[in-house]
Amino acid sequence: MANAVKLTEKDWLEDSFDEHPCYHCLVAEVAKEHWAPSGHTVVGFAMYYFTYDPWTGKMIYLEDFYVMELYRGLGIGSEILKWISQIAIQNRCCSMHFVVVRWNTASIEYYTRRGALDLSKQEEWLLFKFSKENMIKLASEE
């Protein structure tokens, strides 16, 4: 989905490496068997951040999660979810939230096999957003 990226390198660096980063990442690496002997290559990652629900408390939000197709089925994704779950528990989180596009049935099946609940069916939550243009308009209203 490279066409959808609007973030600049400058934005990314500011959001990633200041005193209070907006998100955290885990990466999965495997040794490069046929490249530099000491090198590694990233085959998967997860991006997450903490959020808060006034009814239930601190939550972890899984923003992005990906394992390269060649490395799927080897337990890498399960290990990443395990690490994020441990981070959530260590940080007193009550749940992990994330969204999945409706057409990504493989991911939906992956998560539900592991116990994830589809809140759009269970609790009938709908996802909304305000665009930057809408926020500017709202911010300037008197």
Tens digits of per-residue pLDDT, 94-106?
999 999 999 999 9
Q: What percent of the chain has pLDDT over 70?
A: 92
Tens digits of per-residue pLDDT, 13-42?
888 887 888 899 999 988 766 344 556 688
Q: Is residue 37 part of a domain?
A: yes
List the catalytic residues.
Answer: 111
Q: Are strands 24-31 and 40-53 parallel, antiparallel or unpaired?
A: antiparallel
Q: Is residue 1 part of a domain?
A: no
Q: What is the DSSP letter of 17?
A: H
Q: Are strands 57-67 and 96-97 parallel, antiparallel or unpaired?
A: parallel
Q: Is residue 2 part of a domain?
A: no
The confidence score (pLDDT) of residue 90 equals 97
Q: Is residue 105 part of a domain?
A: yes
The confidence score (pLDDT) of residue 1 equals 61
Q: Is residue 85 part of a domain?
A: yes
Q: Which domain holds residue 79?
A: 7-140
Q: What percent of the chain has pLDDT over 90?
A: 61
Tens digits of per-residue pLDDT, 42-54?
889 999 999 999 9
Q: Is residue 20 part of a domain?
A: yes
The confidence score (pLDDT) of residue 36 equals 44
**What does pLDDT average to over the chain?**
88
Per-residue pLDDT averaged across 128-137, rounded? 92
Distance CA 78, CA 115 (A): 12
Q: What is the CATH number of the domain that holds 135?
A: 3.40.630.30
Residues 6+ apart with CB under 8 A from 13: none
Query: For the chain, how many structural domains are there in total?
Result: 1
Per-residue pLDDT averaged across 113-118, rounded? 94
Residue keyed to tokens 């441990």 = 86
